[in-house]
Amino acid sequence: MTLSPQDACKMNREVCEMAPIVPVLVVNDVTRARPLAEALVAGGLPALEVTLRTPAALDAIKAMSEVPGGIVGAGTLVTPQDVKNAKAAGAKFGVSPGATDALIKACEDEELPLLAGAVTASEVMRMLEKGYDLLKFFPAGTSGGAPAIKAIGGPLPQVTFCPTGGVSLSNAMDYLSLPNVICAGGSWVAPGKLVDEGKWDEIETLAREASQLGK
């Protein structure tokens, strides 16, 4: 059994529709993972992306997967082994900065819905040709931002994006107001300093503020 691109996009669309912001998380200490997830979910952000940038990332995914009401995915997927490790850790979706044939195949084989990165018209068309019409726009801030996504929507209106990279509270609505943006990824809802200090109430407050964007 393999996961079709259409089913992968359908599953990811359901995740993206849960809240306007998907927290992009860098977890250095696994003991912080569960309370961090609990704070974000309590604040109204149930879809969580744990980036595979630290040694604690896979254990963090395992810990966060046990939090009721949350759905945890793995970010920074680069290799097929990343995909296997993420799926084994309990990730329900995968996010990559770009896309390669090997990575796409690995996600389909492991039945891990892939949200692949694309920023140029050619990259978007290549993924659309493969059956993927929901993509990550990364890095958004240095790739033209909201105006670029709006422009791509002219000739390619059938593609929907989740912009990540440079998205903040101050500019999130520039993206979320676009018809071809379903949600956005942001790290500001879980600043490293607040995570290190265990200030879960403050993180919950940031999450609640983000969850109300666009409403």
SS3 27: coil
Helix (H, G, I), strand (E, B) or coil at 117: strand
CA dist 15 and 126 (Å) reads: 23
104: left (phi over 0), alpha (psi -120 to 50) or beta: alpha
Catalytic residue among 62, 87, 92, 136: 136
Opening angle at CA 62, ends 192 and 50, nearest 5: 40
By residue count, the chain amounts to 215
Helix 57-64 / helix 80-89 crossing angle, nearest 10 deg: 40
Residue 111 falls in the annotated catalytic set: no
Question: Is 136 tagged catalytic?
Answer: yes
Active-site residue identified among 38, 49, 108, 204: 49
Q: Which residues are catalytic?
A: 49, 136
